[in-house]
């Protein structure tokens, strides 16, 4: 599972820009990281406590006329140092699980058409996602230069586009291979 709570770095990263509450952090994460790094309240609030115990963030209740109290967190100097250290550390190997592949690996046990259907479902999902990413992409390109950050945001979007395109291309190939295998039962011609 990666053995270390890296969501704390997502939190530190945002707090490095501005003071935020747990609720705000959730919105920031949902709005920009969620495609490759999601987090729920059940993880954010405990993580904030952990960060505070480590002295990497400090909290203060925001004065607020009316409404529920809001707790704002600020990054500390040692928190900023921790963030920068982590940013400069080489990435660990990612660990990915693809249910679609687990299903296909044992696919000979069911009809080819069923497998094709599963692959099509998979494909359609990412065609939809590609459309969303395209908007992000265009938006970011229009605002490049306003802030150096946008360049980095764009790099993450480019990754998503490459990734989802690879999914879709693979799905098309897989569907073709499976369609062929229905006709010539002896394994189907490849290439």
The site for a second copy, by CB under 8 A, has a size of 75
> Which stretch, 32-40, 41-49, 52-60, 69-77, contacts a second copy (CB under 8 A)?
32-40
Measured from the CB atom, the residue of 64 and 106 that comes closer to a second copy is 106
End-to-end CA gap in the chain: 38
Residues 7-26 that bind a second copy (CB under 8 A): 9-10, 13, 16
Measured from the CB atom, the residue of 27 and 143 that comes closer to DNA is 27
Binder of residue 31, out of a second copy, DNA, none (CB less than 5 to 8 A by kind): none
**What's the chain's length in residues?**
191
- Rounded to whole angstroms, how far apart are CA atoms 101 and 110? 14
User: Using the rule CB under 7 A, is 101 a contact of DNA?
Assistant: no
Min CB(31)–a second copy separation in Å: 12
Partner residues linked to 62 by β-bridges: 70
Return the DSSP state at 70. Answer: E
Q: What is the 3-state secondary structure (H, E, C) of 25-64?
A: HHHHHHHHHCCCCCCCHHHHHHHHHHHHHCCCEEEEEECC
Of the candidates 93, 130, 138, 139, which one interacts with a second copy according to CB under 8 A? 93
User: What would the two tokens of residue 69 be?
Assistant: 């109290």
> Which whole-number Å values give the CA distances from 24 to 11, 14, 51, 70, 71, in the listed order?
10, 10, 16, 10, 10
Residues 6+ apart with CB under 8 A from 151: 144
Residues 56-85 that bind DNA (CB under 7 A): 64, 66-71
Min CB(86)–a second copy separation in Å: 8
- Rounded to whole angstroms, how far apart are CA atoms 10 and 29? 8
Measured from the CB atom, the residue of 35 and 70 that comes closer to a second copy is 35
User: Using the rule CB under 7 A, is 98 a contact of DNA?
Assistant: no
Min CB(78)–a second copy separation in Å: 15
Residue ranges that bind DNA, judged by CB under 7 A: 1-7, 21-24, 27, 38-43, 45-46, 48-49, 64, 66-71, 95, 97
């Amino acid at each position: 599972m990666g053995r270390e709570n890296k969501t704390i770095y997502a939190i530190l990263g945002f707090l490095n820009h501005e003071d935020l509450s747990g609720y705000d952090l959730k919105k920031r994460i949902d709005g920009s990281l969620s495609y490759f790094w999601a987090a729920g309240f059940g993880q954010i609030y405990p993580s904030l406590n952990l960060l505070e115990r480590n002295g990497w963030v400090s909290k203060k209740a925001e004065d607020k006329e009316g409404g529920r109290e809001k707790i704002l967190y600020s990054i500390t100097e040692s928190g900023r140092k921790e963030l920068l250290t982590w940013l400069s550390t080489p990435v660990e190997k990612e660990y990915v699980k693809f249910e679609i592949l687990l299903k296909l690996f044992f696919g000979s046990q069911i009809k080819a058409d069923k497998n094709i259907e599963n692959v099509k479902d998979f494909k359609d999902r990412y065609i939809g996602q590609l459309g969303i990413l395209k908007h992000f992409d265009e938006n970011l390109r229009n605002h490049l230069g306003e802030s150096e950050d946008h360049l980095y945001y764009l790099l993450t979007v480019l990754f998503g586009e490459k990734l989802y395109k690879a999914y879709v291309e693979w799905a098309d190939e897989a569907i073709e291979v499976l369609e062929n295998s229905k006709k010539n039962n002896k394994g189907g011609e490849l290439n």
